[in-house]
Structure 1
Amino acid sequence: MYTIGEFSKISKLTAKALRYYDQEGILTPSDRGANGYRYYSNEDLAKAELILLLKQFDFTIAEIKEVVAYELNEEDLAAFLAEKRTQLAEKVARQKALIQQMDDLLKHTETRERRQMEYKMTVEELSAERVALLYFEGTFKEIGQYTGKLFQEVKGRGNGAPFCLYFDEEVNEIGKMALGVPIKKTFDSDLLKITTFPAGQALCTTHVGSYDRLNEAYKALIDYAKANELTLETPWREVYLKGPGKFFKGNPESYQTKIVVPIKE
């Protein structure tokens, strides 16, 4: 048997850690003297080595407690390690995503410092326009999934830049929207709705840059409408004058997106 001091040297665990593990029921000494001194055995040493291994692989105290309480064989330990590996891989993926978001934020912050976008507002008289619409419920990030379906159905009948319609006044996690494109003439489709946008007035502005800065354009447009007592109606339309292609994203800072919002007359 080993005293706590001896066991500390052998196990590479500090006396403080050993007392803590004893208190938590993770590594209880095999014997206690009449004076309360802790005495450890070779079996305790095997458990200490397991604890050090688990700590090395980023197991939490609660996780270590659960593992050491199990009657482990090699297959059991391998199962615990495999499960922890999956958790660590998922954690690494989340951290990489956070780092990418931070890099994007830093990059866009630098871009804003170099060039603060000035938005020119125009009130335009829109002519009636025939369009093909693909309705769906989702998020802005899902638009790309539907672009191919839209143009595959429209084929060579397109007559202008594609656009997205937003029917919700506020931003929702999942919203009702439609991806569309102007068309030269009406045609039959089970997937698309063929309709005509009526003529009318709209407040318009054009955003130059990546899509994740479109909120700046919306702020400028809404502020302008309030200052000029204009009542905005739905649907709001984003027209993608210049954006990513089918195979390449290109330079997001050169994307051009026109925002078109109907005005109540």
Structure 2
Amino acid sequence: MLILKNICAAYGKKQILHNISLSFQPGKIYTIIGKNGSGKSSLMKSIIGLMTLNSGNVTLNGDNVFQLPPKTRAQSISYLSQHRNTSNILVEQIVLHGRHPYMTKNERSNTEIHTQAIDYAIQTMDLTEHRKTPLSNLSGGEMQRTYIAMVLAQDTPIVMFDEPTTFIDIEYQVRFLEVVKQLKEKQKTVILVLHDLTSALEISDKIILMDKGQIKCVLPPNEMIQTGNIEKYFNVDIVSNNGVYIIKPTKKIQRNE
């Protein structure tokens, strides 16, 4: 189990995260939602160790995450950030990066276990025809799918995606959500940052609502709706139509005639 206990973090003198405590169980999907600047990405970075904590700790099965050897940490937690580099590296080479934590110094990448993981990830994100394509030649959506494939190839118990559906067209958004459900079936812990409230409500076991670096509430989707927390915070109405959630603005934008 992944546990955050009383974590606080800052950029310089500006406090970003305030006394956050959370626990994440295997076989569950957690989605972090909140307005821009609410601390969602900072929370993700604090879990993986990309953001220094002022206080508190993060433990995985009782071990301090930040004291784990880098290779062990990379075998335990994978993370897709919002910001990625564009380069001339081939798609399959990017996906191969996901296997590096498992390779010994002299091990070849074409061993059966690595080949299977890479092939699975590339096929899952429908990138077979782009396998030998330089990353810089891809569209934004294809590039995003490549980095998702890299995370899938890493095959860790805890998988974190920060705004993974950015740039991806609707077909692959749906595919990605199905992939997330498969990760849950494999008893992986999945942590997402999403702005798409409909997807968050559909896919999550628990939703974490953040505001100004603090946790407002952590609830299953149905309880989050019943309490009205999402509607109040985002100023929207939520309508359920045969189990499908429809999000509508509370107020219409006034047009200047």
TM over 0.5: no
Q: Which has the higher helix share?
A: 1
TM-score if structure 1 supplies the norm length?
0.18
**Which gives a bigger RCO, structure 1 or 2 (Cα 8 Å, sep 6+)?**
2
- Structure of higher CA gyration radius: 1
